[in-house]
A and B are shown apart, each in its own frame.
Chain A
Amino acid sequence: EAGVTQFPSHSVIEKGQTVTLRCDPISGHDNLYWYRRVMGKEIKFLLHFVKESKQDESGMPNNRFLAERTGGTYSTLKVQPAELEDSGVYFCASSQDRAFAFFGQGTRLTVV
């Protein structure tokens, strides 16, 4: 069974540019979460999808961040325009029963 996959693994962009991260959850997992780890700090929750619906987006930093999960399969997280403080590792996780979340390898985003 394939795990949670994320693309790209690394991204370096200039301040003001746009970046789109993608997450493919484990097949059949209705719950999809986005998290972010900034500068060696804790992993922080961004948002939670149940199928294609946003269940909780309380962790989204601001309106420069847009997450979608069309069709309830893969999800994208767009940052537009990117700022320096957006740098960090973005993790996606999926689960079937809201426990035992499986994480992807993360996308390391560097904004310069």
Chain B
Amino acid sequence: GENVEQHPSTLSVQEGDSAVIKCTYSDSASNYFPWYKQELGKRPQLIIDIRSNVGEKKDQRIAVTLNKTAKHFSLHITETQPEDSAVYFCAATVSSNTGKLIFGQGTTLQVKP
């Protein structure tokens, strides 16, 4: 069935270092890959997304790369700051293209000052 695997489950970095979170998906027809950030007690918020016709997208300190052949995509955060600490979820759409998202298990990122 449709599946998204996300690694690592927890990640701790020093302020200023980079953080990378990786996801793989099973549905080769998936064509939209959003990343959500959920701070403690708050709603998941879309921080960046990528469509299947693009290999990389960047927005200030965050970037996402997509390898459709290998069916994996990654989130890169550079120059991390304490406010980047949160749970990050990757997701992929299903082939039916209804907007239904299959989520990864989440990565708890801790940025130490």
Contact = CB atoms under 8 A, between A and B. Distances in A.
Interface stretch (B13-21, B62-70, B72-80, B102-110): B102-110
Interface string B40-84: 011111100100000000000000000000000000000000000
A25 interface: no
Contacts of A75: none
Interface of A: 3-4, 31, 33, 35, 40-45, 48, 55-56, 91, 95, 98-106
Interface residues of B, number: 26
10 contacts: A33-B100, A35-B103, A42-B89, A43-B44, A48-B98, A98-B98, A99-B93, A102-B46, A103-B43, A106-B43
Nearest to B9: A40
Contacts, number: 63
Most chain A CB within a 10 A radius of its CB, from B34, B42, B44? B44
Contacts of A91: 43-44
Interface of B: 4, 6, 32, 34, 36, 41-46, 49, 89, 91, 93, 96-106
B45 A56 contact: no
Contact of A56 (B43, B44, B49, B98): B98
A42 to B, nearest CB: 5
B106 A56 contact: no
Contacts of A31: 99
A4 B46 CA distance: 13
Nearest to B41: A105
Given A45-B100, A98-B98, A103 B105 contact: no
A98 B99 contact: yes
Contacts of B36: 103
Contacts of B99: 31, 33, 48, 95, 98-99, 101
A43 B103 contact: yes
Given A98-B97, A99-B32, A103-B36, A45 B45 contact: no
A91 B43 CA distance: 9
Given A103-B43, A104-B43, A42 B103 contact: yes
